[in-house]
Amino acid sequence: MQKLEALRNRLRFRPSPPQVMAFGFIFIILIGAQLLSRPVSIAEGTSIPYLDALFMSASATCVTGLPVLNTGIHFSVFGQIVIIALAQIGGLGFMTMATLFALLFRKRISFRERLVLQESMNYGSTEGIVRMIRKVLLYALVIELSGAVLLSSYFMLEMPAGQALYFGIFHSISFFNNAGFDLFAQFPERASSLIHYVEDPFVNVVSMLLIFLGGIGFIVISELVTYPKIKKFSLHSKVVLSFTGALTVIGTIVILALEFSNPHTLQPLSAAGKFLGATFQSVTARSAGLSTVDPGMLREVTQFFLVLLMFIGAGPGSTGGGIRVTTFAILLGAMIAMIRGREDVILFRYRIAKRQIHQAIMFTLLAFSIICAGTMLLSITESVSFLSILFEATSAYCTVGMSAGLTSHVSDTGKIILIVLMFVGRLGPVTLAFALNTRSKKELYRFPEGKITIG
């Protein structure tokens, strides 16, 4: 009898938290694809292949925003609501949304569910995770509601009140979750994304604030809220805020210098417009994927620079992607320490543990390898320039959603490759974080140290 019970326990499938995350995202993507492929989701007079519906569902759930179809033209209001709902679930995490319903119905959160929540939020421990989820939901509601009010009130100057309210809510959710979807193509005289507002300071500032808050992560948002009271930031928040600011400033300067004389992007704009355009591309390239200039018209050197910004990405536990600014900070600190002949990596007078340095190196190499593999596969299936393919593959894996024009014309095989890149990019960071934080077994012996010539 005991042997039979032991056999049953072995055969019983108990998914680990990373597996729960993976299966959960796959399930949501498939449900979204089914909804988006239905006639009720499709704009009148148009038809959508199932693969395109699957692609849009994956893009929304992975908060990437790469579109094979135009959200404002090819989908009905119901379809648009499905897309933005998927972006909300994908941005906050499906376990966070499930916890919301559990809290509303006063259900107890089990320890196993807390482990999955820890995984989804990239949180340090299970202690206080439910309290953190409450804060996440509150912060997201307040920020998105504030953004919706600001954008809706502004859009009322140029469209009916009902449409302005709908546009404000849709784009506030899209911008905060770094999803990159927009509805502006509904206006025949306008280009998609925010190109129409390239010189509009109000829309630019509100959009960049939403993108910034979505990209720094909820842990940092929580510390920003409590800072006036405790007057202190953790090392994590210091690194995220300082490197986010530095990358934004450097990105603005570089883009402004490279595109200043480009007649297809910044040259026709006023001095203030040039600055706004360069700043917006610098902010959006690391997570959001929106544009106030056409990415396909940027100079090749600028596109490659944006690839680097996309690769670095946003903060951990945020709605953005990439290798994360903290990973980049550790790698940069390690390089400086090596050049100066120091053994320890120091950030803000704190020594970084060797384990975290190894994690940063491993995660960067893994991301680099996946992007290279995706780029090589797309180079086989697509007949466009290599830089355009690299741009699209990086944008997909880093869940940015900025497109140089390839996605709207990509082949069916290319769509499948991009779907896989988006899924792995959205799931990979949290899955790796959980895997690396598991308790390691103590080795009973060590191999002798060997030396390899480097450089």
Kindly report the average pLDDT of the chain as a whole number: 84
Nearest to 68 by CA among 82, 78, 77, 58: 58
Fill in the DSSP letter of residue 352.
P
Q: Where are the beta strands (DSSP E) in 269-422?
A: 346-347, 350-351
pLDDT at position 436 is: 41
pLDDT at position 122 is: 54
Please state, in angstroms and rounded to a whole number, the distance separating the CA atoms of residues 207 and 184. 14
Angle value at C-alpha 302, between 298 and 306, nearest 5 degrees: 110
pLDDT at position 140 is: 86
CB 152 within 8 A of CB 39: no
- Residue 351 has phi, psi (to 5 degrees) of -85, 130
Q: Is 251 strand, coil or helix? A: helix
Nearest to 305 by CA among 259, 260, 268: 259
Give this prediction's pTM.
0.87
CB 266 within 8 A of CB 278: yes
CB 172 within 8 A of CB 211: no
Please state, in angstroms and rounded to a whole number, the distance separating the CA atoms of residues 122 and 135. 15
Please state, in angstroms and rounded to a whole number, the distance separating the CA atoms of residues 406 and 68. 9
Please state, in angstroms and rounded to a whole number, the distance separating the CA atoms of residues 44 and 37. 13
Torsion sign over Cα 32, 37, 41, 46? positive
CB 392 within 8 A of CB 401: no
CB burial class (10 A; 0-12, 13-18, 19+) of residue 307? buried
Please state, in angstroms and rounded to a whole number, the distance separating the CA atoms of residues 200 and 204. 6
Domain boundaries, the chain: 17-436
pLDDT at position 108 is: 58
Please state, in angstroms and rounded to a whole number, the distance separating the CA atoms of residues 76 and 329. 43
Please state, in angstroms and rounded to a whole number, the distance separating the CA atoms of residues 165 and 260. 35
CA distances from 110 to 9, 15, 107, 114 (A): 20, 15, 9, 6
pLDDT at position 433 is: 46
Please state, in angstroms and rounded to a whole number, the distance separating the CA atoms of residues 374 and 357. 26
Fill in the DSSP letter of residue 347.
E
Nearest to 399 by CA among 177, 232, 192: 177
> Over the stretch 200-231, which tens digit does the pLDDT of each residue have?
999 999 999 999 998 888 888 888 988 888 88
Q: Show the tokens assigned to 168.
A: 């404000």
Please state, in angstroms and rounded to a whole number, the distance separating the CA atoms of residues 438 and 435. 6
Give counts: helices (H), strands (E), the chain.
18, 2
> Over the stretch 324-373, which tens digit does the pLDDT of each residue have?
999 999 999 999 998 888 888 889 988 988 888 988 998 899 899 999 99
CA distances from 254 to 248, 301, 329 (A): 10, 10, 20
Angle between helices 77-92 and 94-104 (to 10 degrees): 90
pLDDT at position 11 is: 47
Please state, in angstroms and rounded to a whole number, the distance separating the CA atoms of residues 395 and 65. 9
**Residue 79 β-bridge partners:** none
Q: Which residues of the chain have pLDDT under 50?
A: 11, 101, 105, 429-430, 432-433, 435-438
Angle value at C-alpha 229, between 223 and 230, nearest 5 degrees: 65
H or E stretch covering 51: helix 50-61
pLDDT at position 4 is: 53
Please state, in angstroms and rounded to a whole number, the distance separating the CA atoms of residues 237 and 216. 9
CB burial class (10 A; 0-12, 13-18, 19+) of residue 228? exposed
